[in-house]
Amino acid sequence: MSEIKKIKNLKEFSTSADRFEGANLLCPGCAHSIIVREVLNATNDDLILSASTGCLEVCTAVYPYTSWDASWIHIGFENGSTAVAGAEAMYKALKTKGRLKQPDREPKFVSFAGDGASYDIGFQWISGCMERGHNMMHIVLDNEVYANTGGQRSSSTPIGSSATTSPAGRISYGEKKNKKDMISIMAAHQIPYAAQVAPNKWKDMVKKIQHGLAVEGPVFINAMSACTTEWKFDPKDTMSISDLATDSLVFPLYEIID
C-alpha cells in the first residue's frame, strides 16, 4: 500500500501540487471544485478519474481544453462509476499479464458524479460497482439538485426544497419527499467504507478520503456540495453556508466502517 500523504495545515493543503486546474467553467464559489481539489490533494497516488455528465463534467473538459492533470474519462450521465470500474479491470488484467507501463505504481480509481447521476439515473451502475467489489471510490457531489440542467429535483432533494419540478407555490411547499438515504443503501452492499463529508470540514474530509483510498475494495463517499446558483447564495458565502449545514446537523458527517 502506498504511503498516506501528511498534511499539516490548510495553507500547505490548498497549495499542494494541483491535478485539477483552477481554470474551469464552474460558477465562482461552486463547492464541486473545492471537493475535487481536496480529494486530489489528499493523496500523492496516481489517479484514474471519471466524471458523470453534470456540472463538473461540462465545466472541466471542454474541447480543446481540460482542467485535469490526471487521466480522466467521461462517458455519459449514468455510467461514470462503471467507466472507472472498467479501467480498474484493465489495470488488473495488464498487471497479471505484465503489461503495465509503470508496474511499480499503483493508481487509485475514483469516480465523481452528481446526486442526480448517483441517486437517480446511475443508481444501478453504482450498485453494480459496489457489489462486484471493484477497488474504486465513488464520490457524490451532492448539491441535492440537478444543477446542470437548471434545478430539477433529484431523490437527494430534501423535503421542503423548491426545485423547478417540485416548486413551492400558492398551495405547495415544494418537494414532498424526504432525501433518499443513499449511504445506508450503499453500506448495505457490505462495502468496507462509506462516509459523508463536507469540504468546509476539510480535515475530516481528508482523513476520510485517505482512509477510503487506503482500504481494499469499493468505497462510497457522499460529499455535500453547496451550489451558489441553485441554492441561491452569494458565491463568497459557500463556506459559511456549508458550516451552517454541517454544524446544525442538517448535513451530518459520519462514516460506516466495514
Partner 1 sequence: MAFDKMELRDIEVWDGNFAAAQALRQCQIDVVAAYPITPSTPIVEGYAKFLADGYVEGEFVMVESEHAAMSGCIGAAAAGGRVATATSSQGLALMSETLYQASGMRLPIVLNLVNRALAAPLNVNGDHSDMYMVRDSGWIQFDAYNPQEAYDLNFIAFKVAEDHDVRLPAIVNQDGFMTSHTAQGVKTLTDDAAYNFVGEFKPMNDMLDLDHPVTHGVQTEEDWHFEHKARQHRDLMVTVMPKIQAAFDEFEKLSGRKYNIVEEYDMDDADVAVVCMGTSVETAREVATEMRAQGIKAGVVGIRVLRPFPFMEIAEALKDVKAIAALDRSSPNGAAGMLFNEIAGALFNTDTKALLSGYVYGLGGRDLTKAHLRDLYKELQANADAGKVTTQLQQFIGVRGPKLAFL
Site residues (vs partner 1, CB under 8 A): 19, 46, 48, 50, 57-58, 61-64, 66, 68-76, 78-79, 82-94, 96-97, 99-102, 105, 107, 124-125, 127-128, 131-132
196 binds, among partner 1, Mg ion, ligand TPP, none (CB under 5 to 8 A by kind): none
The helix-helix angle for 31-41 and 238-247 (nearest 10°) equals: 80
x/- track of binding to ligand SF4 for residues 2-31 (CB under 6 A):
------------------------xx--x-
Per CB under 6 A, 228 contacts ligand SF4:
yes
Structural element, H or E, at residue 91:
helix 80-96
The CA-based angle 121-65-58, given to 5 degrees, is: 20
Q: Least distance (Å) from ligand TPP to the CB of residue 44?
A: 27
The terminus-to-terminus CA distance of the chain in angstroms comes to 19
27 binds, among Mg ion, ligand SF4, ligand TPP, none (CB under 5 to 8 A by kind): ligand SF4
User: How would you classify the pairing of strands 193-197 and 255-257?
Assistant: antiparallel
Per CB under 6 A, 245 contacts ligand SF4:
no
* 107 upstream amide cis, omega within 30 of 0: no
Using CB under 6 A, pick the residue from 143, 157, 161, 166 that binds ligand SF4: 143
The x, y and z cell numbers of residue 184, run together, are 445506508
